[in-house]
Structure 1
Amino acid sequence: MSDVQNLAPELAAKIERLDALLDSIAARHIDVKFASSLAAEDMLLTHAILSRGVKIGIFTLNTGRLHAETLGMLDRVRARYGYDIEQFHPQTAAVDEYVAAHGLNAFYESIDLRKRCCEIRKVEPLNRALSGVSAWVTGQRREQSVTRAELHEEEHDAARHIAKFNPLADWTEADVWAYLAAFDVPVNPLHARGYPSIGCEPCTRAIRPGEDSRAGRWWWESRDTKECGLHITTIPIAVSTESASA
Protein backbone atom coordinates (compact mmCIF):
# COMPACT_ATOMS: atom_id res chain seq x y z
CA MET A 1 0.00 0.00 0.00
CA SER A 2 1.25 3.47 -0.87
CA ASP A 3 2.30 6.00 1.75
CA VAL A 4 0.34 9.21 1.18
CA GLN A 5 3.38 11.22 2.24
CA ASN A 6 5.31 9.89 -0.78
CA LEU A 7 2.74 11.18 -3.27
CA ALA A 8 2.67 14.57 -4.97
CA PRO A 9 1.65 17.16 -2.32
CA GLU A 10 -1.52 18.21 -4.15
CA LEU A 11 -2.76 14.64 -4.50
CA ALA A 12 -1.77 13.79 -0.93
CA ALA A 13 -3.82 16.75 0.28
CA LYS A 14 -6.82 15.62 -1.77
CA ILE A 15 -6.58 12.10 -0.34
CA GLU A 16 -6.38 13.37 3.22
CA ARG A 17 -9.38 15.60 2.63
CA LEU A 18 -11.28 12.72 0.98
CA ASP A 19 -10.63 10.44 3.95
CA ALA A 20 -11.77 13.17 6.35
CA LEU A 21 -14.90 13.79 4.30
CA LEU A 22 -15.83 10.10 4.19
CA ASP A 23 -15.33 9.84 7.96
CA SER A 24 -17.52 12.91 8.42
CA ILE A 25 -20.26 11.53 6.18
CA ALA A 26 -20.29 8.22 8.05
CA ALA A 27 -20.43 10.03 11.39
CA ARG A 28 -23.31 12.26 10.28
CA HIS A 29 -25.30 9.49 8.57
CA ILE A 30 -25.09 6.05 10.17
CA ASP A 31 -27.21 4.54 7.38
CA VAL A 32 -25.37 6.10 4.41
CA LYS A 33 -24.84 4.04 1.24
CA PHE A 34 -22.43 4.36 -1.66
CA ALA A 35 -23.78 3.62 -5.17
CA SER A 36 -20.95 2.03 -7.14
CA SER A 37 -20.84 1.55 -10.91
CA LEU A 38 -17.66 -0.53 -10.43
CA ALA A 39 -15.79 1.89 -12.73
CA ALA A 40 -12.59 3.81 -11.92
CA GLU A 41 -13.93 6.59 -9.67
CA ASP A 42 -16.10 4.16 -7.77
CA MET A 43 -13.26 1.71 -7.26
CA LEU A 44 -11.25 4.60 -5.81
CA LEU A 45 -14.04 5.27 -3.32
CA THR A 46 -14.46 1.55 -2.65
CA HIS A 47 -10.79 1.37 -1.67
CA ALA A 48 -11.00 4.54 0.42
CA ILE A 49 -13.98 3.09 2.30
CA LEU A 50 -13.04 -0.57 2.69
CA SER A 51 -9.29 -0.21 3.29
CA ARG A 52 -9.99 2.02 6.29
CA GLY A 53 -13.16 0.34 7.54
CA VAL A 54 -15.38 3.39 7.04
CA LYS A 55 -18.99 2.56 7.92
CA ILE A 56 -20.52 3.21 4.52
CA GLY A 57 -22.43 0.39 2.82
CA ILE A 58 -21.71 -0.26 -0.86
CA PHE A 59 -24.19 -1.43 -3.49
CA THR A 60 -24.38 -1.60 -7.28
CA LEU A 61 -27.21 -1.63 -9.80
CA ASN A 62 -27.10 -4.88 -11.75
CA THR A 63 -29.20 -3.78 -14.72
CA GLY A 64 -29.10 -7.12 -16.52
CA ARG A 65 -27.23 -5.50 -19.43
CA LEU A 66 -23.78 -4.96 -17.89
CA HIS A 67 -20.51 -6.07 -19.48
CA ALA A 68 -19.05 -9.34 -18.18
CA GLU A 69 -15.95 -7.36 -17.21
CA THR A 70 -18.04 -5.10 -15.00
CA LEU A 71 -19.73 -8.00 -13.24
CA GLY A 72 -16.29 -9.55 -12.76
CA MET A 73 -15.37 -6.62 -10.54
CA LEU A 74 -17.69 -7.99 -7.86
CA ASP A 75 -15.44 -11.02 -7.48
CA ARG A 76 -12.32 -8.86 -7.51
CA VAL A 77 -13.67 -6.68 -4.71
CA ARG A 78 -14.55 -9.78 -2.71
CA ALA A 79 -11.06 -11.23 -3.24
CA ARG A 80 -9.23 -8.00 -2.37
CA TYR A 81 -11.33 -6.64 0.49
CA GLY A 82 -13.42 -9.57 1.69
CA TYR A 83 -16.57 -7.56 1.00
CA ASP A 84 -19.69 -8.54 -0.93
CA ILE A 85 -21.14 -5.56 -2.75
CA GLU A 86 -24.93 -5.64 -2.52
CA GLN A 87 -26.71 -5.94 -5.87
CA PHE A 88 -30.06 -4.42 -6.81
CA HIS A 89 -31.81 -5.76 -9.91
CA PRO A 90 -34.69 -4.33 -11.97
CA GLN A 91 -38.17 -5.73 -11.49
CA THR A 92 -38.58 -8.64 -13.89
CA ALA A 93 -42.18 -7.79 -14.75
CA ALA A 94 -41.28 -4.20 -15.69
CA VAL A 95 -38.43 -5.37 -17.94
CA ASP A 96 -40.64 -7.97 -19.62
CA GLU A 97 -43.41 -5.42 -20.23
CA TYR A 98 -40.96 -2.93 -21.79
CA VAL A 99 -39.40 -5.54 -24.05
CA ALA A 100 -42.79 -6.90 -25.12
CA ALA A 101 -44.10 -3.43 -25.96
CA HIS A 102 -41.02 -1.85 -27.54
CA GLY A 103 -38.32 -4.47 -28.14
CA LEU A 104 -35.12 -5.35 -26.29
CA ASN A 105 -33.09 -2.46 -27.73
CA ALA A 106 -35.80 0.17 -28.15
CA PHE A 107 -33.65 2.72 -26.33
CA TYR A 108 -31.90 3.46 -29.63
CA GLU A 109 -35.17 4.74 -31.13
CA SER A 110 -35.85 7.81 -28.96
CA ILE A 111 -34.69 9.63 -25.86
CA ASP A 112 -38.02 8.88 -24.19
CA LEU A 113 -37.64 5.12 -24.72
CA ARG A 114 -34.01 5.27 -23.57
CA LYS A 115 -34.96 7.13 -20.42
CA ARG A 116 -37.78 4.67 -19.78
CA CYS A 117 -35.31 1.81 -19.99
CA CYS A 118 -32.99 3.63 -17.57
CA GLU A 119 -35.95 4.23 -15.28
CA ILE A 120 -36.72 0.51 -15.15
CA ARG A 121 -33.19 -0.83 -14.97
CA LYS A 122 -31.49 1.86 -12.88
CA VAL A 123 -33.70 4.50 -11.27
CA GLU A 124 -36.33 2.20 -9.73
CA PRO A 125 -33.66 -0.19 -8.31
CA LEU A 126 -31.77 2.84 -6.97
CA ASN A 127 -34.91 4.05 -5.22
CA ARG A 128 -35.23 0.66 -3.54
CA ALA A 129 -31.55 0.68 -2.59
CA LEU A 130 -31.90 4.08 -0.96
CA SER A 131 -35.23 3.42 0.73
CA GLY A 132 -34.95 4.30 4.40
CA VAL A 133 -31.46 5.86 4.29
CA SER A 134 -30.63 9.49 5.05
CA ALA A 135 -27.75 9.95 2.59
CA TRP A 136 -25.92 8.47 -0.37
CA VAL A 137 -22.50 8.83 -1.97
CA THR A 138 -21.54 8.91 -5.65
CA GLY A 139 -18.32 8.95 -7.67
CA GLN A 140 -19.34 11.85 -9.91
CA ARG A 141 -16.79 14.48 -10.95
CA ARG A 142 -17.29 17.93 -12.49
CA GLU A 143 -14.80 17.17 -15.24
CA GLN A 144 -16.80 14.23 -16.57
CA SER A 145 -19.37 16.11 -18.66
CA VAL A 146 -21.18 19.36 -19.31
CA THR A 147 -24.14 18.09 -17.30
CA ARG A 148 -21.90 17.80 -14.21
CA ALA A 149 -19.93 21.04 -14.54
CA GLU A 150 -21.73 22.64 -11.57
CA LEU A 151 -21.53 19.56 -9.35
CA HIS A 152 -21.24 20.25 -5.62
CA GLU A 153 -19.56 18.16 -2.97
CA GLU A 154 -22.76 18.06 -0.93
CA GLU A 155 -26.26 18.34 -2.34
CA HIS A 156 -29.83 17.72 -1.32
CA ASP A 157 -31.50 14.95 -3.31
CA ALA A 158 -34.89 16.58 -3.70
CA ALA A 159 -36.56 13.51 -5.21
CA ARG A 160 -35.69 11.28 -2.27
CA HIS A 161 -35.42 13.98 0.44
CA ILE A 162 -31.99 12.81 1.54
CA ALA A 163 -28.44 14.15 1.48
CA LYS A 164 -26.18 13.36 -1.44
CA PHE A 165 -22.39 13.52 -1.45
CA ASN A 166 -19.96 13.69 -4.38
CA PRO A 167 -16.56 13.43 -2.63
CA LEU A 168 -14.62 13.43 -5.92
CA ALA A 169 -16.35 16.50 -7.36
CA ASP A 170 -13.11 18.46 -7.82
CA TRP A 171 -10.86 15.51 -8.70
CA THR A 172 -9.39 15.31 -12.20
CA GLU A 173 -9.05 12.16 -14.26
CA ALA A 174 -5.30 12.32 -13.64
CA ASP A 175 -5.94 12.46 -9.88
CA VAL A 176 -8.14 9.37 -10.07
CA TRP A 177 -5.64 7.28 -11.99
CA ALA A 178 -2.72 8.42 -9.83
CA TYR A 179 -4.63 7.23 -6.77
CA LEU A 180 -5.56 3.89 -8.34
CA ALA A 181 -1.95 3.27 -9.31
CA ALA A 182 -0.53 4.36 -5.96
CA PHE A 183 -2.76 2.00 -3.99
CA ASP A 184 -2.85 -0.79 -6.58
CA VAL A 185 -6.65 -0.68 -6.70
CA PRO A 186 -8.33 -3.24 -8.99
CA VAL A 187 -9.92 -1.60 -12.04
CA ASN A 188 -12.35 -2.66 -14.74
CA PRO A 189 -10.33 -3.98 -17.72
CA LEU A 190 -12.63 -2.06 -20.07
CA HIS A 191 -10.83 1.14 -19.09
CA ALA A 192 -7.69 -0.11 -20.83
CA ARG A 193 -9.76 -0.66 -23.98
CA GLY A 194 -10.87 2.95 -24.31
CA TYR A 195 -13.91 3.02 -21.99
CA PRO A 196 -13.42 5.86 -19.48
CA SER A 197 -17.12 5.79 -18.56
CA ILE A 198 -18.84 2.42 -18.31
CA GLY A 199 -22.56 1.69 -18.19
CA CYS A 200 -24.75 -0.95 -19.79
CA GLU A 201 -23.07 -2.85 -22.62
CA PRO A 202 -25.39 -1.79 -25.50
CA CYS A 203 -25.29 1.85 -24.37
CA THR A 204 -21.52 2.22 -23.96
CA ARG A 205 -18.71 2.33 -26.51
CA ALA A 206 -15.02 3.13 -26.42
CA ILE A 207 -14.26 6.80 -27.06
CA ARG A 208 -12.19 8.26 -29.89
CA PRO A 209 -9.10 10.46 -29.39
CA GLY A 210 -10.11 13.94 -28.27
CA GLU A 211 -13.62 13.00 -27.12
CA ASP A 212 -14.70 13.79 -23.56
CA SER A 213 -14.95 10.97 -21.05
CA ARG A 214 -18.75 10.63 -21.34
CA ALA A 215 -18.82 10.60 -25.15
CA GLY A 216 -19.12 6.81 -25.16
CA ARG A 217 -22.32 6.83 -23.10
CA TRP A 218 -25.53 6.96 -25.22
CA TRP A 219 -23.31 8.10 -28.10
CA TRP A 220 -26.27 8.50 -30.46
CA GLU A 221 -27.67 11.37 -28.33
CA SER A 222 -26.59 15.01 -27.94
CA ARG A 223 -24.19 15.90 -25.11
CA ASP A 224 -26.81 17.67 -23.00
CA THR A 225 -29.09 14.62 -22.62
CA LYS A 226 -26.50 12.15 -21.36
CA GLU A 227 -27.87 11.34 -17.92
CA CYS A 228 -29.95 8.34 -16.95
CA GLY A 229 -32.09 10.02 -14.30
CA LEU A 230 -30.07 9.07 -11.24
CA HIS A 231 -28.49 12.50 -10.78
CA ILE A 232 -30.86 15.22 -11.96
CA THR A 233 -32.93 16.28 -8.93
CA THR A 234 -30.37 17.81 -6.58
CA ILE A 235 -30.00 21.15 -4.83
CA PRO A 236 -26.40 22.23 -4.11
CA ILE A 237 -25.21 22.75 -0.53
CA ALA A 238 -21.97 24.63 0.10
CA VAL A 239 -19.49 22.64 2.18
CA SER A 240 -16.31 24.16 3.54
CA THR A 241 -13.02 22.34 4.02
CA GLU A 242 -13.35 22.89 7.75
CA SER A 243 -16.78 21.25 7.98
CA ALA A 244 -15.66 18.31 5.86
CA SER A 245 -12.76 17.68 8.22
CA ALA A 246 -14.83 17.94 11.36
Structure 2
Amino acid sequence: MKSVPEVPSNASPQDILRLGLEAAEGPVKLACSFSLEDVAIIDLAKAAGLEIGVFALDTGRLNEETYEVADAISQRFGISIDWYFPRHEAVEKLEREKGLFSFRESLDNRHECCHIRKVEPLGRALQGLSGWITGMRREHNVTRIDLKSIELDQLNGGILKLNPLLDWNEEQLLAYVQQQRLPQNRLLKEGYRSIGCAPCTRAVQPGEDARAGRWWWENPEHKECGLHRR
Protein backbone atom coordinates (compact mmCIF):
# COMPACT_ATOMS: atom_id res chain seq x y z
CA MET A 1 0.00 0.00 0.00
CA LYS A 2 1.38 3.38 -1.01
CA SER A 3 1.71 6.30 1.39
CA VAL A 4 -0.19 9.42 0.35
CA PRO A 5 1.98 12.55 0.65
CA GLU A 6 0.59 15.70 2.23
CA VAL A 7 -0.26 18.25 -0.45
CA PRO A 8 0.07 21.95 0.51
CA SER A 9 -3.06 23.99 -0.10
CA ASN A 10 -1.17 26.26 -2.50
CA ALA A 11 0.41 23.41 -4.50
CA SER A 12 0.56 23.93 -8.24
CA PRO A 13 -0.32 21.13 -10.69
CA GLN A 14 3.39 20.57 -11.24
CA ASP A 15 3.95 20.37 -7.46
CA ILE A 16 1.21 17.75 -7.23
CA LEU A 17 2.72 15.77 -10.08
CA ARG A 18 6.19 15.93 -8.54
CA LEU A 19 4.95 14.88 -5.08
CA GLY A 20 2.93 12.03 -6.56
CA LEU A 21 5.74 10.73 -8.74
CA GLU A 22 8.16 10.74 -5.81
CA ALA A 23 5.69 8.98 -3.52
CA ALA A 24 4.77 6.37 -6.14
CA GLU A 25 8.36 5.12 -6.38
CA GLY A 26 7.62 3.44 -9.67
CA PRO A 27 6.05 3.93 -13.09
CA VAL A 28 3.16 6.42 -13.35
CA LYS A 29 1.06 7.04 -16.46
CA LEU A 30 -1.61 9.51 -17.52
CA ALA A 31 -4.99 8.05 -18.49
CA CYS A 32 -5.51 10.23 -21.54
CA SER A 33 -8.88 10.89 -23.14
CA PHE A 34 -7.36 13.78 -25.14
CA SER A 35 -9.37 16.37 -23.26
CA LEU A 36 -8.03 19.87 -22.68
CA GLU A 37 -7.12 18.75 -19.15
CA ASP A 38 -5.08 15.79 -20.33
CA VAL A 39 -3.21 17.76 -22.98
CA ALA A 40 -2.45 20.48 -20.40
CA ILE A 41 -1.09 17.87 -17.98
CA ILE A 42 1.27 16.50 -20.63
CA ASP A 43 2.51 20.02 -21.36
CA LEU A 44 2.94 20.84 -17.65
CA ALA A 45 4.87 17.64 -17.03
CA LYS A 46 7.14 18.22 -20.02
CA ALA A 47 7.84 21.81 -18.92
CA ALA A 48 8.81 20.59 -15.44
CA GLY A 49 11.01 17.80 -16.76
CA LEU A 50 8.77 15.13 -15.23
CA GLU A 51 8.65 11.74 -16.90
CA ILE A 52 5.18 10.28 -17.24
CA GLY A 53 3.83 7.67 -19.60
CA VAL A 54 0.56 8.05 -21.48
CA PHE A 55 -2.09 5.45 -22.17
CA ALA A 56 -5.51 5.67 -23.81
CA LEU A 57 -8.61 3.51 -23.94
CA ASP A 58 -10.01 3.03 -27.43
CA THR A 59 -13.62 2.05 -26.77
CA GLY A 60 -14.34 1.51 -30.45
CA ARG A 61 -16.85 4.37 -30.40
CA LEU A 62 -14.67 7.47 -30.20
CA ASN A 63 -15.13 10.51 -32.43
CA GLU A 64 -12.77 11.06 -35.35
CA GLU A 65 -11.89 14.44 -33.79
CA THR A 66 -10.54 12.64 -30.72
CA TYR A 67 -8.13 10.60 -32.83
CA GLU A 68 -6.97 13.83 -34.47
CA VAL A 69 -5.95 15.20 -31.06
CA ALA A 70 -4.14 11.94 -30.25
CA ASP A 71 -2.13 12.24 -33.44
CA ALA A 72 -1.40 15.92 -32.82
CA ILE A 73 -0.01 15.43 -29.30
CA SER A 74 2.06 12.44 -30.40
CA GLN A 75 3.74 14.63 -32.97
CA ARG A 76 4.06 17.77 -30.83
CA PHE A 77 5.47 16.09 -27.73
CA GLY A 78 7.21 13.15 -29.37
CA ILE A 79 5.41 10.67 -27.15
CA SER A 80 4.19 7.15 -27.76
CA ILE A 81 0.66 6.42 -26.58
CA ASP A 82 -0.11 2.96 -25.22
CA TRP A 83 -3.55 2.02 -26.57
CA TYR A 84 -5.85 -0.46 -24.85
CA PHE A 85 -8.92 -1.97 -26.47
CA PRO A 86 -11.94 -3.87 -25.11
CA ARG A 87 -11.98 -7.66 -25.39
CA HIS A 88 -13.57 -8.27 -28.78
CA GLU A 89 -15.45 -11.34 -27.54
CA ALA A 90 -17.23 -9.25 -24.89
CA VAL A 91 -18.17 -6.51 -27.38
CA GLU A 92 -19.44 -9.04 -29.90
CA LYS A 93 -21.56 -10.80 -27.24
CA LEU A 94 -23.01 -7.51 -25.97
CA GLU A 95 -24.00 -6.23 -29.40
CA ARG A 96 -25.27 -9.62 -30.57
CA GLU A 97 -27.51 -10.08 -27.52
CA LYS A 98 -28.56 -6.51 -26.70
CA GLY A 99 -27.99 -4.45 -29.84
CA LEU A 100 -25.96 -1.32 -30.49
CA PHE A 101 -27.69 1.07 -28.08
CA SER A 102 -28.53 -1.01 -25.01
CA PHE A 103 -26.75 1.55 -22.83
CA ARG A 104 -29.66 3.95 -23.27
CA GLU A 105 -32.21 1.49 -21.95
CA SER A 106 -31.14 1.39 -18.29
CA LEU A 107 -28.37 2.44 -15.92
CA ASP A 108 -27.34 -1.20 -15.48
CA ASN A 109 -27.02 -1.61 -19.24
CA ARG A 110 -24.96 1.55 -19.50
CA HIS A 111 -22.66 0.37 -16.71
CA GLU A 112 -22.29 -2.96 -18.51
CA CYS A 113 -21.21 -1.23 -21.72
CA CYS A 114 -18.78 1.06 -19.86
CA HIS A 115 -17.33 -1.90 -17.99
CA ILE A 116 -16.63 -3.78 -21.22
CA ARG A 117 -15.29 -0.80 -23.16
CA LYS A 118 -13.51 1.13 -20.39
CA VAL A 119 -13.21 -0.45 -16.95
CA GLU A 120 -11.81 -3.83 -17.99
CA PRO A 121 -9.24 -2.27 -20.37
CA LEU A 122 -8.27 0.20 -17.62
CA GLY A 123 -7.49 -2.72 -15.31
CA ARG A 124 -5.05 -4.05 -17.88
CA ALA A 125 -3.56 -0.60 -18.47
CA LEU A 126 -2.85 -0.15 -14.74
CA GLN A 127 -1.11 -3.48 -14.29
CA GLY A 128 2.46 -2.93 -13.14
CA LEU A 129 1.97 0.77 -12.43
CA SER A 130 2.64 2.48 -9.12
CA GLY A 131 0.26 5.32 -9.89
CA TRP A 132 -1.92 6.94 -12.51
CA ILE A 133 -2.88 10.49 -13.42
CA THR A 134 -6.29 11.84 -14.35
CA GLY A 135 -7.57 15.15 -15.68
CA MET A 136 -10.51 15.31 -13.28
CA ARG A 137 -11.53 18.72 -11.97
CA ARG A 138 -13.75 19.40 -8.99
CA GLU A 139 -16.14 21.64 -10.91
CA HIS A 140 -16.88 18.95 -13.52
CA ASN A 141 -19.75 17.36 -11.63
CA VAL A 142 -21.25 16.64 -8.21
CA THR A 143 -19.55 13.23 -8.33
CA ARG A 144 -16.10 14.88 -8.09
CA ILE A 145 -16.53 17.41 -5.29
CA ASP A 146 -14.87 15.28 -2.59
CA LEU A 147 -11.82 14.17 -4.55
CA LYS A 148 -8.26 14.86 -3.38
CA SER A 149 -5.23 15.92 -5.38
CA ILE A 150 -3.41 12.71 -4.47
CA GLU A 151 -5.27 9.71 -3.14
CA LEU A 152 -5.09 5.95 -2.84
CA ASP A 153 -6.91 4.00 -5.49
CA GLN A 154 -8.15 1.17 -3.29
CA LEU A 155 -10.04 -0.48 -6.14
CA ASN A 156 -6.94 -0.78 -8.31
CA GLY A 157 -4.46 -2.37 -5.95
CA GLY A 158 -3.82 0.58 -3.66
CA ILE A 159 -1.73 2.52 -6.19
CA LEU A 160 -1.64 6.31 -6.14
CA LYS A 161 -4.08 8.39 -8.12
CA LEU A 162 -3.00 11.92 -9.04
CA ASN A 163 -5.52 14.63 -9.94
CA PRO A 164 -3.22 17.62 -10.54
CA LEU A 165 -5.86 19.92 -12.07
CA LEU A 166 -8.50 19.16 -9.46
CA ASP A 167 -8.83 22.78 -8.27
CA TRP A 168 -8.42 24.51 -11.61
CA ASN A 169 -11.55 26.17 -12.94
CA GLU A 170 -12.46 26.26 -16.59
CA GLU A 171 -11.12 29.79 -17.05
CA GLN A 172 -7.68 28.75 -15.79
CA LEU A 173 -7.67 25.71 -18.03
CA LEU A 174 -8.69 27.59 -21.17
CA ALA A 175 -6.19 30.37 -20.48
CA TYR A 176 -3.35 27.85 -20.16
CA VAL A 177 -4.35 25.94 -23.29
CA GLN A 178 -4.54 29.15 -25.32
CA GLN A 179 -1.30 30.53 -23.94
CA GLN A 180 0.54 27.31 -24.81
CA ARG A 181 -1.33 26.88 -28.10
CA LEU A 182 -2.10 23.27 -27.27
CA PRO A 183 -4.03 20.93 -29.58
CA GLN A 184 -7.79 21.08 -29.03
CA ASN A 185 -10.65 18.83 -30.06
CA ARG A 186 -12.60 20.50 -32.88
CA LEU A 187 -15.88 19.50 -31.20
CA LEU A 188 -15.23 22.07 -28.46
CA LYS A 189 -16.08 24.82 -30.94
CA GLU A 190 -19.44 23.14 -31.50
CA GLY A 191 -20.47 23.38 -27.85
CA TYR A 192 -19.03 20.13 -26.52
CA ARG A 193 -17.31 20.56 -23.15
CA SER A 194 -16.70 16.97 -22.06
CA ILE A 195 -16.10 14.40 -24.80
CA GLY A 196 -16.36 10.64 -24.42
CA CYS A 197 -17.84 8.02 -26.72
CA ALA A 198 -19.72 9.50 -29.67
CA PRO A 199 -23.18 8.02 -28.87
CA CYS A 200 -22.97 9.17 -25.24
CA THR A 201 -21.77 12.74 -25.80
CA ARG A 202 -23.47 15.86 -27.11
CA ALA A 203 -23.05 19.64 -26.97
CA VAL A 204 -24.23 21.42 -23.81
CA GLN A 205 -26.61 24.34 -23.52
CA PRO A 206 -25.66 27.75 -22.04
CA GLY A 207 -25.62 27.56 -18.24
CA GLU A 208 -25.22 23.78 -18.09
CA ASP A 209 -22.19 22.22 -16.38
CA ALA A 210 -19.37 20.74 -18.42
CA ARG A 211 -20.59 17.15 -18.12
CA ALA A 212 -24.25 17.84 -18.88
CA GLY A 213 -23.65 16.50 -22.37
CA ARG A 214 -22.44 13.13 -21.10
CA TRP A 215 -25.18 10.49 -20.69
CA TRP A 216 -27.70 13.35 -20.80
CA TRP A 217 -30.60 10.98 -20.16
CA GLU A 218 -29.28 10.15 -16.67
CA ASN A 219 -29.30 12.00 -13.34
CA PRO A 220 -26.12 14.03 -12.54
CA GLU A 221 -25.11 11.76 -9.64
CA HIS A 222 -24.86 8.79 -12.02
CA LYS A 223 -22.56 10.40 -14.56
CA GLU A 224 -19.42 8.33 -14.13
CA CYS A 225 -18.36 5.45 -16.33
CA GLY A 226 -16.79 3.32 -13.61
CA LEU A 227 -13.18 4.39 -14.21
CA HIS A 228 -13.30 6.53 -11.09
CA ARG A 229 -15.24 4.40 -8.64
CA ARG A 230 -14.70 5.22 -4.99
Taking structure 1 as the reference length, what is the TM-score of the superposition?
0.86
Contact 2:152–2:161 under 8 Å retained in 1: yes
Aligned equivalent of 2:199, options 173, 182, 202: 202
C-alpha distance after superposition, 1:109-153 (max 9, x if no partner): 111000000000000000000012121110001100011111211
Structure 2 SS opposite 1:58: strand
Q: Structure 1 stretch 152-161 or stretch 59-68: which is displaced more?
A: 152-161
Structure 1 SS opposite 2:160: strand
Structure 2 SS opposite 1:159: helix
Aligned equivalent of 1:84, options 75, 80, 83: 80
C-alpha distance after superposition, 1:174-216 (max 9, x if no partner): 0100110111111111111111100000000000111111000
**Residue matched to 2:216:** 219
**Residue matched to 2:18:** 23
Gaps of 5+ in 2: 1-9
| Distance in structure 2 (CA, Å) of the matches to 1:64 and 1:50 | 29
**Residue matched to 2:7:** none
Q: How many equivalent residue pairs?
A: 220
| Distance in structure 1 (CA, Å) of the matches to 2:111 and 2:128 | 25
| Distance in structure 1 (CA, Å) of the matches to 2:100 and 2:47 | 40
Letter in 2 for 1:60: A
| Distance in structure 1 (CA, Å) of the matches to 2:53 and 2:43 | 13
Share of identical aligned residues, percent? Answer: 46
Contact 2:20–2:150 under 8 Å retained in 1: no
Gaps of 5+ in 1: 1-13, 234-246
**Residue matched to 2:162:** 165
| Distance in structure 2 (CA, Å) of the matches to 1:77 and 1:84 | 9
| Distance in structure 1 (CA, Å) of the matches to 2:114 and 2:134 | 17
Matched, 1:137 2:133: yes
**Residue matched to 1:110:** 106
Structure 2 SS opposite 1:164: strand
Contact 2:14–2:164 under 8 Å retained in 1: no
Tell me by how many angstroms 1:51 deviates: 4.1
Q: Structure 1 runs of 4+ off > 3 angstroms?
A: 50-53
Letter in 2 for 1:113: N
Structure 2 SS opposite 1:33: strand
Aligned equivalent of 1:34, options 9, 17, 30: 30
| Distance in structure 2 (CA, Å) of the matches to 1:151 and 1:214 | 16
Tell me by how many angstroms 1:166 deviates: 0.7
Contact 2:57–2:85 under 8 Å retained in 1: yes
Letter in 1 for 2:195: I
Contact 2:59–2:85 under 8 Å retained in 1: yes
| Distance in structure 1 (CA, Å) of the matches to 2:61 and 2:42 | 22
Contact 2:20–2:160 under 8 Å retained in 1: no
Matched, 1:188 2:166: no
Over the aligned positions, Cα root-mean-square deviation in angstroms equals 1.5
Matched, 1:59 2:55: yes
Contact 1:63–1:89 under 8 Å retained in 2: yes
